[in-house]
Amino acid sequence: MIGVIDYGAGNLGSVMNALRRLNTDARFVRGPEDMRAFEKIVFPGDGHFATAMASLETSGYASAIREWIQADKPFLGICIGLQLLFDTSEEAPPVDGKETRGLSVVSGKVRRFPGRKVPQIGWNNTKARPSSRLFKGLPEHSFFYYIHSFYADPADASITAAEAEYYCTYCGAVERSAMSAVQFHPEKSGAAGLMLLENWIAGT
């Protein structure tokens, strides 16, 4: 059974629809304590880094997600579900000297694209590493659907599973043990997105 975390963000319906198209048994997680009922967790969503993080802290999901990943259980973050894994974000600069911290399960910072035309909206060529489990069976260069103004910059480049370009070369996906996360929206990326989700479900 796959659990989809609902913390009030958008695009959750499209994620659930994609999982159902793959004949996958999935339902929304009813709260942090409910996560233990699932074998795999998907954390999708969009929104502002600070607002989303505040929601996770208030609801108790922040601690539950950290514990889940530390226990090396299958996890897939999508869009802000990738960015919130990091330490800090330029989207949420310090206020009165107080810094907004992310989940800090991946060392690094989320940075704003250096160009003027943001957000990036639309399909972008994504180059996967040959060893990536998520991208198994997909062409080395595949197109996925993105919508974001900020990108993740891991301190350890070895966890980067795929890269894309928009003003700069940036991290499009990360993999570490049972944790995976993507900046793009696989649920909106046609056949390539469904194949990536299928790979994650299969654990390949």
Give the residue numbers spanning the domain of 118. 2-202
Active site residue 187: yes
Q: What is the pTM of this model?
A: 0.94
* Tokens found for residue 114: 């250096």
Residue type, 102: G
Nearest partner of 10 among 54, 41, 47, judged by Cα: 47
Query: Do the beta carbons of residue 78 and residue 44 sit within 8 Å?
Result: yes
Provide the domain count of the chain. Answer: 1
Active site residue 185: yes
Beta bridge partners, 96, equal none
Considering the candidates 148, 171, 175, 185, report the single residue annotated as catalytic: 185
pLDDT one-digit tens code per residue, 86-114: 999 999 987 777 889 999 999 999 999 99
Active site residue 165: no
Considering the candidates 79, 91, 171, 175, report the single residue annotated as catalytic: 79
Considering the candidates 91, 175, 187, 198, report the single residue annotated as catalytic: 187
CA–CA separation, 136 and 3 (whole Å) = 23
CA–CA separation, 146 and 182 (whole Å) = 10
Task: Assign 85 a pLDDT band (cuts: 50, 70, 90).
Answer: very high
| CATH classification of the domain holding 39 | 3.40.50.880
pLDDT one-digit tens code per residue, 118-158: 999 999 999 999 999 999 999 999 999 999 999 999 999 99
